[in-house]
C-alpha cells in the first residue's frame, strides 16, 4: 500500500509500481576534511520530505533440496559481515525503480561453486529506504526479501547469479535462490530455514548435492519444457534470453 505525506513546497513523488525480485563488494570512501572555524555542519532535516512506502508481496516456490542445489551457482556456509547502505536501481526498459541492499559474507565451507574458504561473496536483497535529495522524497520498500541479519551470524546460502532481470546491474553479486527459502541459519547440529523454521537440513543432507549441475542449463531446460507444453509463449521465451544481456543502473 502506498501513502505519502505531502508538502506543498515539494515535488510530488512518483508512485512505485509493484515489481518482482532480484551483491556488489562494499566500498568505503575516506574523505579528508580541513578544519573550519564553524562547528559541525548542520544535519539535513528530512522530516519535511515526502515519504512513499510500498509493501511488495513476493511469492516464492517451495523447492526441494535437489531443486535448490541445481539452481545454485554457489552453496556455502559463511559468516555475515554487514550491510552497505540501501540504494536505488533504475531498471532496463523504463520501469519504476526499486530499492536494494548488499550484504557481505566471509565463506567458511563450500559445497558448490568456484570459490574457497576465506573468500567473500556479496548477496543482494530487495528492500530498504532511499532518499531522493533532488525530489526531496523518501522511498521505502518493504519485502519478504528484506532480511535482517546480525553481524557474525553463521548461515547456509543457496546463491545464484542474476539472470533475466531488468533490475540486475553489472557488478559482482549473487541473489538467493527462491528468495528467503535459500537462506538457513546454523545451529549445533542442523540448519534452520529463515523463511520457515519448520524446514531443517542436516549436515549429511548436503552430501547429496551434485556440484557439477550447471544452473544455466537447468534454467534453459525448464524454459524449453514450458515452451513445449504451451505454458510459455515463443515471444516470452525469446524475451527471457534477450534480458540476459540487459542491465539496470545503480544510483
User: For residue range 112-164, what is the model confidence (pLDDT) as tens digits?
Assistant: 999 999 999 999 998 888 888 887 888 888 776 667 788 999 999 999 999 88
For 112, the grid coordinates are 558448490
Over the stretch 20-31, which tens digit does the pLDDT of each residue have? Answer: 333 323 232 222
Residue 76's closest CA among 214, 199, 206? 206
Residue with cell 523454521: 197
The pLDDT of 177-196, averaged and rounded, is: 88
Phi, psi of 81 (to 5 degrees): -105, -15
Look over the chain and give the mean of its residue pLDDT values, rounded to a whole number.
80
- What is the pLDDT, as a whole number, of residue 176? 94
Amino acid at each position: 500500500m502506498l501513502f505519502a505525506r505531502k508538502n506543498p513546497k515539494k515535488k510530488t513523488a512518483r508512485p512505485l509500481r509493484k515489481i518482482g525480485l532480484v551483491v556488489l563488494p562494499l566500498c568505503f570512501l575516506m574523505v579528508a576534511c580541513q578544519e573550519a572555524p564553524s562547528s559541525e555542519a548542520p544535519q539535513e532535516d528530512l522530516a519535511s520530505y515526502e515519504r512513499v512506502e510500498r509493501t511488495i508481496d513476493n511469492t516464492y516456490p517451495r523447492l526441494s533440496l535437489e531443486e535448490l542445489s541445481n539452481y545454485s551457482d554457489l552453496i556455502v556456509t559463511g559468516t555475515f559481515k554487514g550491510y552497505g547502505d540501501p540504494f536505488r536501481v533504475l531498471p532496463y526498459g523504463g520501469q519504476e525503480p526499486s530499492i536494494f541492499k548488499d550484504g557481505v559474507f566471509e565463506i567458511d565451507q563450500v559445497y558448490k561453486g568456484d570459490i574457497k574458504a576465506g573468500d567473500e561473496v556479496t548477496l543482494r536483497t530487495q528492500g530498504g529506504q532511499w532518499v531522493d535529495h533532488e525530489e526531496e522524497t523518501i522511498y521505502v520498500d518493504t519485502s519478504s526479501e528484506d532480511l535482517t541479519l546480525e553481524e557474525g551470524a553463521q548461515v547456509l546460502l543457496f546463491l545464484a547469479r542474476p539472470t533475466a532481470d531488468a533490475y540486475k546491474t553489472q557488478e559482482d553479486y549473487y541473489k538467493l535462490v527462491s528468495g528467503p527459502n535459500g537462506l538457513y541459519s546454523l545451529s549445533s547440529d542442523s540448519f534452520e530455514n529463515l523463511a520457515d523454521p519448520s524446514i531443517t537440513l542436516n549436515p549429511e543432507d548436503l552430501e547429496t548435492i551434485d556440484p557439477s549441475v550447471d544452473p544455466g542449463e537447468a534454467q534453459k531446460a525448464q524454459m524449453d519444457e514450458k515452451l513445449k507444453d504451451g505454458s510459455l509463449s515463443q515471444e516470452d521465451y525469446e524475451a527471457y534470453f534477450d534480458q540476459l544481456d540487459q542491465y539496470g543502473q545503480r544510483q
